[in-house]
Each structure stands twice: as C-alpha cells, then as structure tokens.
Structure 1
Amino acid sequence: MTEPAAPHRRPEEGHRHGRLSARATVVAQAAPPGTSPLADPWGGRPGLRHVPPGDGPYRLVVLLHGAGGSAEQGLDLLLPLADAHRLLLLAPQATASTWDLIAEGYGPDVARIDALLAEALGTYPVHGVTFGGFSDGASYALSLGLTNGDLVDAVVAFSPGFAAPLVTHGRPRVFVSHGAADRVLPVDVCSRRLVPRLHTLGYPVEYAEFPDGHEVPAEIRRRAVDWLVG
C-alpha cells in the first residue's frame, strides 16, 4: 500500500481501481426520516436508506452485506443504533451474489456505490463518511475504505477476510471485530493477520475479538458505534 500526495484521485484512477468520485455538494431538499428504498441508478435490485430524525449533520455509514445477503441484512447491522447516534445509513445491494472485488475485481458495484454516495452527499448534511460491513461486505468495506481514505474517515469491519486496495489514499481509522470460533472465515488466517498488518502500515485500528462464531453480537455492534461516534 502506498500513500499518494494528492487529496483526490489521480486521472488514471477510476472505478476499476475502487476509486470513488462522490464528494459533498450543495444540500438539496432532504427526504423525511425513516427507512425507504434506495433505487439503483442502473435499474438493479434496490438498496435501503435510513434517515434518523432531527436535523443534521449526520454521520453517513455505507453498510455492505455478506455473500448471498441482502441490503436488509446490511442495514440491520447498525439500524437499532442509528437514531440515537444520528447515523444516516445507506445499504446497497450487490450486483451479483457478492461484491465485484471478490468475484472479478472492482467494477459495477463501485460505480453504483459511487452514484448512491453522490446522491446522499448532495441531499443531506454530512460530517463524516464511514464504510462498514460483515464478512465479504467487511472485506469490501475495508478495501474501498483504504482506497478512498480522502473521503472515508472510518471503516467498521465485522469478521473480514482480507483487505485488497489497489491504491491507497489517506489513513482512515479502522474498527475490526472477529469471533474466535469463526469457522467460515477463521480468525487465525483473517483478522489476526490483517490487524497487525494494518498497524504496521500506520492505520489506527481498534480490534475486538469475541468467543463466538461468524456473527456480530449486539455488544460488538454497540462497541463499534461507541468507537465510531466517540
């Protein structure tokens, strides 16, 4: 991983590198609070958006589901805590059964997430952008978050398998959790290797290991949100 000097993407870096172009713009009329469908700009399966009550600014959190999962499962990762902590949640739906990076490399999912981010950043007052996810979604959140650290200032990765940025920008802070009894993505070959590597590369990492399997216990979710907002 390298640290480029420029704060924005280089001309040769685009969606195939995992780079996002969305940035905060003039805020338009915001949608009312609550959960609503998030239409895919290319006509694919819709995602979900949750807007907390009250005026912004909000922390924008993009939540990515695991392999074979759904936008609903992504949203549910932090939905019970969103209103109390003023988290504006976006939960995209992967184009295929999992995210493009895991299958064939960065591509259509990056473009879709970029478009959804641009719409949200042009509609709501936002004071920070977080990428989060579970399992394959956690690996994707880490990969996109490290790639786009000039936009994303925090990453929450529940039981990730890896991080695979092709380029890196910035140094977002990172929260990683993993179950010691995980049989899907064993902790010894995943987070116990990944977290020290991130530390070595200069990323500030908070690591939470728990005794259970491939899941996200309620206490881990609360700890992640306390870390995120605190």
Structure 2
Amino acid sequence: MTEPAPPHRQPEEGHRHGRLTARPAAVTAPGPTGLTSVPDPEGGTPALRYVPADGVGPYRVMVLLHGAGGSARQGLDLLLPLADAHRLLLVAPQATASSWDLIAEGYGPDVRRIDALLGAVLAAYPVAGVTLGGFSDGASYALSLGLTNGDLVDAIVAFSPGFAAPLVTHGRPRVFVSHGTYDRVLPVDVCSRRLVPRLHSLGYPAEYAEFSGGHEVPAEIRQRAVDWLVG
C-alpha cells in the first residue's frame, strides 16, 4: 500500500490513477425506487441499482463490487437484505473483464463506469454519504478506490480483501475489514492480518472483524458491517 499523497488533487490525476469525479449535486428529477437495471454508457453489461421502496431519503450510497468471476447480482446480494432497514442505496456494477481493471492491467474502464454510475445516483437521489464495498477481489478494489477517493468516499467495507493498491490517496475514510481464519483463497495471515495494521499505521480508522470460517461473508458479519457503517 502506498504512503499517503498530499491532500490535494494533482493536475495529472484522472481515471488512470483511480480518481472519481462524481460529486453530490442538487436533485432535480428524483430517480425510481426498487430494483432497476442501469445501462452501461460504454455498451457493457448493465449495472444493478436498488433504492428502498418507500422513496424517503437521504440515503447512504453503497457501491458493491463482486469477487473474481462474479456478477453484479452477487455484488448487490452482499447487502440487499439489509438495505431497506438501514436506508442503503445499493449500486452494483459488473467488471469489464473477469475481475476489476486494477487487478488485470491497471485503472481504466471500471473506474469510468463506476464514476458514471455514481454521478447518475448523486444527481437523482439525496445522499448522506458514499461507501465502497466488496468481497474478495471486489474488496481489494473497494479498498484501493476508496483510499484513492477519500474526498468523496467516507467509508469502505472490505469482506475478505487481498490487498490495497492506491496510486494516490486523499482524505481519511473509515474502514471495515472482515476475514475468515480458515480462508484458503486469500489466507488471512498474508492478507488482512498485514493490511489492517498497515492501515492503522497510516492513520486510517479501521475496524477489523475476524471470524471462524473460510472465503465467505456470514450473515452476522454483514450485519456487523452495516451496524458499524450506520452507527
């Protein structure tokens, strides 16, 4: 994980550095509620969006990122059962390839897609905060993008991450990390048990939940993460 960069935007920073340009805006035409499919502006697989059905904001926006080989629906399902009770507006994109661009060739198309999705949400719904979250490769990507964009993202939820690799950092988002002690896909000893102390040493407020299990997100961990997020 890189050292924090100066807390200002460098002129050369853009999507290739993982930077998001979306920002909260005045809502002029409220968007739909419930589960909807969101077309990809670049012609790729549509994203999914869920807005609590009662339509009463403001919402905490959560961008949820699937693991390698996964789907937008798998990302959405990470927290869909908890969305209504906790006023969560969920956005789940589909990676351009089998996993997220950073893991393959570096930041690029997935940053653009997430930026466009966030821009549309922030223009159509009243928002109380922006969170990036995910599982496995999606958790690594959420950490990397979240630390890069702490001037927009105020919280990160990482279920069983492998790493964090921001090219630049901004702000100090708070972080929730969980990991199973018997994870054989991303072993806890070389992943979260190294990552979380590193976050602490760099000044990030990080909550760590270790559980007896494998490469998974148990229901009690999902609930703990949301309680931490909204509490």
**Please, what TM-score do these two structures have when normalized by structure 2?**
0.97
Aligned residue for 2:67, secondary structure, equals coil
Q: In 2, distance between residues paired with 1:195 and 1:5?
A: 22
Aligned 1:96-135 pairs, distance under 5 A = 96-135=97-136
Show structure 2 runs of 5+ residues with no match. Answer: none
Shift of 1:55: 1.5
Aligned-residue RMSD, C-alpha: 0.8
Query: What residue is the counterpart of 1:65 in the other structure?
Result: 66
Q: In 1, distance between residues paired with 2:37 and 2:144?
A: 26
Query: What residue is the counterpart of 1:222 in the other structure?
Result: 223
Aligned 1:1-230 pairs, distance under 5 A = 1-6=3-8, 9-52=9-52, 53-230=54-231
Aligned residue for 1:219, secondary structure, equals helix
Q: In 2, distance between residues paired with 1:54 and 1:48?
A: 17
Contact kept, 8 Å, 2:17 with 2:107, in 1: the verdict is: yes
1:5-48, CA deviations, whole angstroms, 9 ceiling, x for partnerless residues? Answer: 32xx3221000000000001121322332111011111100110
Aligned residue for 2:13, secondary structure, equals coil
Between Structure 1 and Structure 2, how many residues are aligned? 228
Question: Quick one: which amino acid aligns to residue 47 of structure 1?
Answer: A
Shift of 1:2: 1.9
Aligned residue for 1:168, secondary structure, equals coil
Q: In 1, distance between residues paired with 2:41 and 2:49?
A: 14
Question: Quick one: which amino acid aligns to residue 215 of structure 1?
Answer: E
Contact kept, 8 Å, 1:172 with 1:204, in 2: the verdict is: yes
Question: Quick one: which amino acid aligns to residue 86 of structure 1?
Answer: R
Question: Quick one: which amino acid aligns to residue 41 of structure 2?
Answer: P
Question: Quick one: which amino acid aligns to residue 122 of structure 1?
Answer: A
Comparing 24-33 with 37-46, greater Cα deviation is found at 24-33
Comparing 72-81 with 23-32, greater Cα deviation is found at 23-32
Question: Quick one: which amino acid aligns to residue 129 of structure 1?
Answer: V
Q: In 2, distance between residues paired with 1:99 and 1:187?
A: 21
Q: In 1, distance between residues paired with 2:56 and 2:216?
A: 33
Contact kept, 8 Å, 1:35 with 1:51, in 2: the verdict is: yes
Question: Quick one: which amino acid aligns to residue 50 of structure 2?
Answer: H
Q: In 2, distance between residues paired with 1:177 and 1:46?
A: 28
Shift of 1:131: 0.1
Question: Quick one: which amino acid aligns to residue 51 of structure 2?
Answer: V
Q: In 2, distance between residues paired with 1:153 and 1:170?
A: 8
Aligned residue for 1:199, secondary structure, equals helix
**Please, what TM-score do these two structures have when normalized by structure 1?**
0.97
Q: In 1, distance between residues paired with 2:33 and 2:20?
A: 26
